[in-house]
Structure 1
Amino acid sequence: MKTVLFAISLLVFGFTINGQNFTLSGTVSQNQLKLEDALVYAKGTSYSTQTNEVGYYELKLPPGNYQIVFAFGNTKTVEVNLNESKTVDVDLARAVESLEEVSVQAVRVDADSPITHSNFSKTEIAKRNLGQDIPILMKFLPSVVSTSDAGNGVGYTSIRVRGSDNSRVNVTINGIPYNDQESQGTFWVNLQDFASSTENIQLQRGVGTSTNGSGAFGASVNILTDKYSKEAYAEYNTSYGSFNTWRNNIKFSTGLLNDHFEISGRLSKIESDGYVDRASSDLKSYFLQANYTDDNTLIKALVFGGNEVTYQSWFGVDRETLETDRTFNPAGQFTDEDGNIQFYDNEVDNYSQDHYQLHWNQTLNKNWSSNISLNYTYGRGYFEQFVEDADLSFHEIEPVEVGNETIENSDLIRRRWLDNDYYVVNANINYTDDEWDFTAGAFGSLYDGDHFGEVIWSRFAGNSLIRDRYYNGNGTKREFTTFAKATWRIDDQWQIYGDVQGRFVNFEMSGLTSDKVNLVVDESFEFFNPKAGITFRANQNHQLYFSFGRAHREPRRQDFENGITQAERLDDFELGWRFQTANSSINTNVYYMKYEDQLVLTGALDDVGNPIRETSGQSYRLGLEVEGQFKLSEKVSIQPNIALSTNKNQDFVAPLNGELVNLGDTNISFSPEIVAGNQLSFQPIPEFQINFLSKYVGEQYMGNIDSAASKLDDFFVNDLNLVYRLKNISVFDEIVFTGLINNVFDAEYESNGYFFFFESADENGNPTTVEGAGFYPQAGVNVLIGASFRF
């Protein structure tokens, strides 16, 4: 490792390249008023400046393509191809940056909003995008904890924000809900290489603004896919790294044809063996987009999706195995006829998902704009499992007579299927002028999902046929949402925000579950979710905000299976301060999230790895979040963040040693009291950047009874990221080399786990509580290197 670091240091200081700089200049105004001290900077670089007393700015940059950000409360981003000195004048009066943004305008907020949020730009995503899933790329954002079943960020991954699990983070793609409608989970593994087709991501923490789909109970993640490109290009990206991890994709754009039409797309393939034994991934995906644009209209038709085949690795390991064999994976384990332990080679998830979206964004006049979106998602796939000595009657196979023996149990292979359709209609309209920003809309969706199991092989099959089904079930979910929200800019200092939403949800379920329990559900929910806030800009550098938001959330399918029919309620209070100068910015907020009937994770998993939940009654989360960005010099900058919190179930009752015990206030599961991150960036020359990224996550309990057996240790992980760009090399417009050393100091850590406890009896027949835990080990030092070639 010392040799590697020494070589890197030689590489850093060995470059001596002299390049010609061009000047980007112009004025920044708002409603024709010239703005003094507006911030102007190039995303992903240390180049920045401020406007003078007449709104004029001047920025010297090397040749290249840049995303230039103009910020003065509101922000606007302009793409500039700097091949000569240019003048760009900007007016910040409109909050919406472009027609591209109209698709997500209803679920997003701007820089002056009293909603706590962070933005993750395409430039930042590209630095580390070497095939790992979006939760891993987002792990350095405030209050975010990411984990990977396979241990290396490829395959099944998940995200928690403010301690809220993956199913409680609302995710939308171009304003269309992505969370599974029954489980409410976000299966990022079905968005294979999606970061390569992402324009930007906004993370709203807490309730956030009104969004589509199930309510945000910890955060919402709003993804905007690639903008259309005015210029034609072709691009090939490749990367390789530890655990035989490969990522290859090709991207293209026709550029604007006849100044109106563009077609772009991507094909990707990712393969990895995983850090954990047999935790392999085979991920294929595509993205195809057609655009029509003119001065007032943007119509986007998108088709994207893919197929994932991942070997199961959700079992984890117990504490003893963690010490002796960290990568052990019990999935697929069975004993053969000779008593030898074997592992079934196809204990996999095999799932395909295709999305069809149509967005019509229209500017009606200088004040009004509208969006109409249609979506159809088709998902189908199965979990394949080898079952040793299975009950034949359970699988609808009659006992088999062999000689004088009646065979009632047999080894078999089964598949549990999910086949679903999801339809969405979404429409909203926006009015903006010097004082008002008003948006109203309606959302309707229908989900229809079939659940069934089939046996594809049995050692003793009787009269059964391949793929005979042993259970069938169906789940249907209908949702209608309407909302209206407005921002009133009273003057240059004060603005008021209001937001009301009505959600109407109906669940119908019938047939058998995978445990062959008859599930009959017909439940409807009506939710009213008000939100309000106020922002005060003391001067050009300081801004204060306060907001209140209420959200409700319906139970999910598994909750109904466990007899839970009560909806949850969350009241979220946020108080924040924002500070911004040309060389620094600080965002600080205090939050108090008060829950009624919160469904918290028990720590236990069901038989396919899904977390089991229970109602905790009264509970709360109280925290402080701070994030900053500081330019220390022309070449060095840092981006630290920290979240401190206390997360409590109040008067929590649990069955212990044969009786119900009131444990008082206990810690909410999977809710660390401290989460911190930092990015240190060094850019010795414009073409070369070094990023050193750090993440600390404090200890946390995996259950709600504060048991020492359920404790997940704290961890501190550091990554090293190198990016080197070459411009106009031979036939290439750009070549980018990227290196990523994950966990550079080889820390041994576990980012996730599970905990269970149940009532039993000791040797004397006295009631006792049995506890156990499992852990998901993450990879030690591992490397990904990549290259991008753009024509």
Structure 2
Amino acid sequence: MQKKTTVWLAFLALMLVGNVALAQRVLTGRITDGQQPIAGASITVQGTVAGTSSDNDGAFSIPTDQETGNLEIRYMGFLTKLLPYSNQSNLGTIVLEPNSNEFLDEVVVVGRGVIDIAEGRKTPIAVSTITQKQIEAKVGSQDITSSLANTPSVYITGQAKGFGETAMTTRGFDQSNTAFLLNGQPINGMDNGSLYWSNWSGMSDIASLIQIQRGLGSSKLAISSVGGTINFVTKSTEKQQGGFLKQSVGNDGYLKSTIAYNTGLMSNGFAVSAMFTHWQGDGYVDGTAGKGQNYFVSLGYKVNDKHNLNLMITGAPQWHNQGYTATLQKYLDNGRRFNSNISEVDGKSVNYRKNYYHKPVANLNWDWEIDDNASLSTVVYGSIARGGGQSQRTDATDERVPYLAADVNNHQWFGLVTNYNRQLNEYLNFNLGFDLRDYKGEHYRQVTDLLGASAISHTGNVNFDGPIVTSNTYSTNPWSAWSDRPGNAEDRLAWDYNQIIRYGGLFGQIEYARDGFSSFFQGSISQQQNIRKDFFQYTSGNQKSKDVNNFGYNVKGGLSYSIDNHTFFGNAGYYSRQPFQNNIFMNYANDINPYAENEEIVGLELGYKFTSQYIDVNLNAYKTTWANRVTGESRNASAEDVETYNPTGDPSLLVEGDYLYFSYYGVKQDHQGLELDFVSRPFTGLQVTGFASLGDWVYDGVNTSITRNEDRAVLATTETDRTGDQVGNAAQTSYGLGASYKIIKGLYVDADFRAFDRLYSSKESKSGEVMELPSYQLFDAGVSYEWNITPKNTLSFRVNVNNLFDKYYISEASTSIFQEDGAEYWNGINTSNTVLVGVGRTWNGTVKFTF
């Protein structure tokens, strides 16, 4: 028995060390920046496929059968180091030298010319960068937006609405006024600028880097964001063979499983990386269960030293039930997990509000190193999406038969971005490129469940006489949505129209840098064509709108000067931005909106950066004005809304809980503020981070507001002077601290504190006042442990607890109701206000095996 045990132990040991046993020796060492260990540095034996990465203590070990050679050591933001070795096995402490110009080479393997990372330009901007290691540690079961929570002037809300329902503001501007790019590809909706994180639920798995550029940013594209630009850089095809298995669990039945594998660079020049994820959970708020997958495939091919190709395909099919706002009193009576979308059906709690979507994205990157001074980068991309949002409806008969229907939002989107870069001389660099997009959106309502009825009837399509009877139903499975869709007009309810948008932009940049001084100038011009085809409200031959063509442009420039550890900079820009199509055509018809002129955005920035061995500090001041502003929002109708917008009490117009849609025109926004962030390394093993932002964001002028119900019927048109009103749904004052500390080798603990103040409602009261919400503070904590089983096999653990002290707080409000006779109050807030209460204490844990 003892002999058999010995044999099995020997066999197990052989399996663990794998090819290490075949190597003649193992090279070891420790990577640092001169003070702190560097975790995640890439170490390879030059000329071989042998490779590994440094652990949390900077330590590494790598097997090799070569007696002499060079180790190639790479890490983001540092110079690549070639370290020769001969007879020694322990290489000791290896210090890497910082060099921000190497940033792109380390992280952006493909698409260098079209992926606008700030370090690609010498003149600084207000920027925060989140690495893959930080994303993996912090996100857990949350949306990818949570990784940006500890940055200045960023406010995250909507977590309580369900999986993928978060929203973020940047310097007080919402997501439709922040540009989001995926490997250089614009991903904001072309019709309204919106971004729905449920469509990108796999982003936390595939992102190797997130960079938020507040304000003017460094983007060379012909885009004009108001709040800033956020770049998501995905993993590219890995050059080394290996993979990982990861399992996550969390509160309320959350489970997530991931498997990934990389072939490494093969002898034929190809390499393939693939990943698949499945997740599911019941949701923190009652009735907000969800389930989905994420797939990622990246195929790389190194044609030769001049040409490199990479094809990426990714998607995140998912469905999730939705929560929404309610009166504060309902939360206090029913608990913070209360969901106003839940109703009682046959004695059971049912939530019919559901989002389902599948949005595959493919992009092909081609990088061409023309010569030592010139390069061309091009990305061709496409996205074909299917899905929508389900709710309960009633048919057009007097019996008002209930059924479930989905408002469908399909689209197909193709584009190309290309950028030519040339180093004109030692000090002067030049870029020129263009951006082409073609978009078609398809919108209608379809029956998903007859709820026991044999058929339902609907009206409104002018191409049919009288009510139309429909008995067909269509799936809300995100995979089935591709093929299970109505091909006939009889099964398309409420509306049926297409949006067509064609966009072309030309952009360029020139930058000069010498002896600590740098300057840049960027400019772009663009032309956008908008067409609307309505098959519901118009007869054949009259369904196409007039073509609406808008010309836009932007210019921006800046100066900076660096001396020793100090850098001073200033940037300024002006944008003339075309309105979104949803604001060009009025009344959900082909009527052209006279208010929809180009929006005018002016941005001014001043900044200071200090870097040293122990601390890095950034201080920014900004002023942004946004005129000819055209925006919109939606929310569940409160009892006050029903009283205001449906005084006759007609249930076909509006009942409590229905969606209301608001369009706003005319008012200007004026945002200014200060931002501070720092990273401190007081001694080995401890890192302290901090941020603070102080904003003053107000409206200026008379606002024209059009309110519509779920059938897009106009309920009211009002004009309000909003001069001096505070901009809502984002904390104008925020600050926070974070710390990470190494207890022993491989074991780290970390914690974050965030505070939010001067948060206002998004809607003014009947008298024109805006309600201020109570300030609040949040604490998060986590612990990580990494065990290097062998030089190539690692087992790591991570546990997060968010809102550690279970703070009860209001994250947003959509009414401003003040003092009333007989009213109840919570922290000075009238409890009849419609609000969203933040998520309480949550947790998640992850175990990952890397091989």
**What amino acid maps onto 1:288 in structure 2?**
V
Between the aligned partners of 2:745 and 2:315, the Cα distance in structure 1 is: 36
Name 2:679's counterpart in structure 1. Answer: 629
- 1:684 paired with 2:676, answer no
The answer on whether the counterparts of 1:207 and 1:551 sit within 8 Å (CA) in structure 2 is no
Name 1:62's counterpart in structure 2. Answer: 59
Q: Structure 1 residue aligned with 2:571, among 547, 559, 583?
A: 547
Q: Structure 2 residue aligned with 1:385, among 391, 413, 428?
A: 391
* Structure 1 residue 129: Cα displacement: 3.7
The answer on whether the counterparts of 1:736 and 1:789 sit within 8 Å (CA) in structure 2 is yes
Q: Secondary structure at the match of 1:118?
A: strand
Q: Structure 1 residue aligned with 2:836, among 770, 776, 786?
A: 776
Q: Structure 1 residue aligned with 2:368, among 342, 362, 366?
A: 362
**What amino acid maps onto 2:60 in structure 1?**
P
- 1:412 paired with 2:421, answer no
Q: Structure 2 residue aligned with 1:472, among 488, 491, 496?
A: 496
* Structure 1 residue 551: Cα displacement: 2.4
Q: 1:508 to 1:649 in 2, by over 3 A?
A: same
Q: 1:354 to 1:265 in 2, by over 3 A?
A: same
Q: Which runs of 5+ in 2 are unaligned?
A: 1-26, 42-55, 63-71, 458-468, 474-490, 588-592, 638-656, 707-715, 818-829
RMSD: 3.6
* Structure 1 residue 704: Cα displacement: 5.3
Q: Secondary structure at the match of 1:322?
A: helix
Residues 221-240 of structure 1: pairs in structure 2 closer than 5 A: 221-240=230-249
The answer on whether the counterparts of 1:710 and 1:772 sit within 8 Å (CA) in structure 2 is no
- What are the Cα deviations for residues 150-177 of structure 1, in whole angstroms up to 9, with x where unaligned? 367x332221111111221111111011
Q: Structure 2 residue aligned with 1:571, among 602, 608, 628?
A: 602
Q: Structure 1 residue aligned with 2:532, among 471, 485, 509?
A: 509
* Structure 1 residue 720: Cα displacement: 0.2
* Structure 1 residue 94: Cα displacement: 6.7
**What amino acid maps onto 1:552 in structure 2?**
S
- 1:738 paired with 2:798, answer yes
Name 1:445's counterpart in structure 2. Answer: 437
Name 2:463's counterpart in structure 1. Answer: none
Name 1:664's counterpart in structure 2. Answer: 723
Name 1:16's counterpart in structure 2. Answer: none
The answer on whether the counterparts of 2:763 and 2:814 sit within 8 Å (CA) in structure 1 is no
Between the aligned partners of 2:580 and 2:556, the Cα distance in structure 1 is: 24
Q: 1:279 to 1:659 in 2, by over 3 A?
A: closer
Name 2:142's counterpart in structure 1. Answer: 132
Q: Secondary structure at the match of 2:426?
A: coil
**What amino acid maps onto 1:579 in structure 2?**
F
Between the aligned partners of 2:816 and 2:582, the Cα distance in structure 1 is: 17
Between the aligned partners of 1:594 and 1:454, the Cα distance in structure 2 is: 41
Q: Structure 2 residue aligned with 1:162, among 171, 175, 186?
A: 171
Q: Which runs of 5+ in 1 are unaligned?
A: 1-19, 26-37, 47-58, 393-398, 400-406, 758-769
Name 1:525's counterpart in structure 2. Answer: 550
The answer on whether the counterparts of 1:62 and 1:686 sit within 8 Å (CA) in structure 2 is no
Worse-matched range after superposition: 167-176 or 431-440: 431-440
Worse-matched range after superposition: 563-572 or 185-194: 563-572
- What are the Cα deviations for residues 360-417 of structure 1, in whole angstroms up to 9, with x where unaligned? 0121111111111111101001222222xx241xxxxxx5xxxxxxx45211221221
* Structure 1 residue 658: Cα displacement: 12
Q: Secondary structure at the match of 1:450?
A: strand
Name 1:428's counterpart in structure 2. Answer: 419
The answer on whether the counterparts of 1:132 and 1:193 sit within 8 Å (CA) in structure 2 is no
Name 1:249's counterpart in structure 2. Answer: 258
* Structure 1 residue 306: Cα displacement: 2.2
- 1:705 paired with 2:770, answer no
* Structure 1 residue 348: Cα displacement: 1.3
- What are the Cα deviations for residues 176-221 of structure 1, in whole angstroms up to 9, with x where unaligned? 1111211211111112232221111111101323454752111111
Worse-matched range after superposition: 573-582 or 119-128: 119-128
Between the aligned partners of 1:60 and 1:242, the Cα distance in structure 2 is: 31
Between the aligned partners of 2:793 and 2:781, the Cα distance in structure 1 is: 26
Q: 1:708 to 1:282 in 2, by over 3 A?
A: farther
Between the aligned partners of 1:662 and 1:90, the Cα distance in structure 2 is: 53
Q: Structure 2 residue aligned with 1:371, among 371, 377, 382?
A: 377
Q: Structure 2 residue aligned with 1:205, among 197, 214, 224?
A: 214
Q: Secondary structure at the match of 1:100?
A: coil
Q: Secondary structure at the match of 2:789?
A: strand
- What are the Cα deviations for residues 414-451 of structure 1, in whole angstroms up to 9, with x where unaligned? 12212210001111111135312221110101001111
Between the aligned partners of 2:222 and 2:753, the Cα distance in structure 1 is: 33
Q: Secondary structure at the match of 1:125?
A: helix
Between the aligned partners of 2:79 and 2:151, the Cα distance in structure 1 is: 22
Between the aligned partners of 1:658 and 1:614, the Cα distance in structure 2 is: 10
Q: 1:659 to 1:333 in 2, by over 3 A?
A: closer
Between the aligned partners of 2:578 and 2:658, the Cα distance in structure 1 is: 22
The answer on whether the counterparts of 1:284 and 1:307 sit within 8 Å (CA) in structure 2 is yes
Between the aligned partners of 2:676 and 2:497, the Cα distance in structure 1 is: 47
The answer on whether the counterparts of 2:810 and 2:836 sit within 8 Å (CA) in structure 1 is yes
Name 2:456's counterpart in structure 1. Answer: 461
Between the aligned partners of 1:350 and 1:276, the Cα distance in structure 2 is: 18
The answer on whether the counterparts of 1:678 and 1:694 sit within 8 Å (CA) in structure 2 is yes
Q: Secondary structure at the match of 1:323?
A: helix
Between the aligned partners of 1:659 and 1:378, the Cα distance in structure 2 is: 38
The answer on whether the counterparts of 1:444 and 1:480 sit within 8 Å (CA) in structure 2 is yes
Between the aligned partners of 1:628 and 1:541, the Cα distance in structure 2 is: 14
- What are the Cα deviations for residues 684-723 of structure 1, in whole angstroms up to 9, with x where unaligned? 2341111101222213222353766743332211100111
- 1:618 paired with 2:668, answer yes
Name 1:97's counterpart in structure 2. Answer: 105
* Structure 1 residue 683: Cα displacement: 1.2
Name 1:328's counterpart in structure 2. Answer: 338
**What amino acid maps onto 1:62 in structure 2?**
A
Q: Secondary structure at the match of 2:332?
A: helix
Name 2:133's counterpart in structure 1. Answer: 123
Q: Secondary structure at the match of 1:126?
A: helix
* Structure 1 residue 143: Cα displacement: 1.2
Worse-matched range after superposition: 362-371 or 87-96: 87-96
Name 1:291's counterpart in structure 2. Answer: 300
Q: Secondary structure at the match of 1:190?
A: helix
Between the aligned partners of 2:565 and 2:293, the Cα distance in structure 1 is: 47
Residues 338-349 of structure 1: pairs in structure 2 closer than 5 A: 343-344=349-350, 346-349=352-355
Query: What TM-score results when the alignment is normalised by the length of structure 2?
Result: 0.76
Name 1:7's counterpart in structure 2. Answer: none
Q: Secondary structure at the match of 1:135?
A: helix
Q: 1:718 to 1:327 in 2, by over 3 A?
A: same
The answer on whether the counterparts of 1:600 and 1:616 sit within 8 Å (CA) in structure 2 is no
**What amino acid maps onto 2:407 in structure 1?**
R
Q: 1:295 to 1:673 in 2, by over 3 A?
A: same
- 1:498 paired with 2:521, answer yes
Name 2:811's counterpart in structure 1. Answer: 751
How many residue pairs were aligned? 710
Query: What TM-score results when the alignment is normalised by the length of structure 1?
Result: 0.82
Name 2:205's counterpart in structure 1. Answer: 196
Between the aligned partners of 2:34 and 2:404, the Cα distance in structure 1 is: 62
Q: Secondary structure at the match of 1:666?
A: coil
* Structure 1 residue 512: Cα displacement: 6.3
Q: Secondary structure at the match of 1:639?
A: strand
Between the aligned partners of 2:849 and 2:279, the Cα distance in structure 1 is: 18
**What amino acid maps onto 2:774 in structure 1?**
D
Q: 1:285 to 1:756 in 2, by over 3 A?
A: farther
**What amino acid maps onto 1:713 in structure 2?**
P
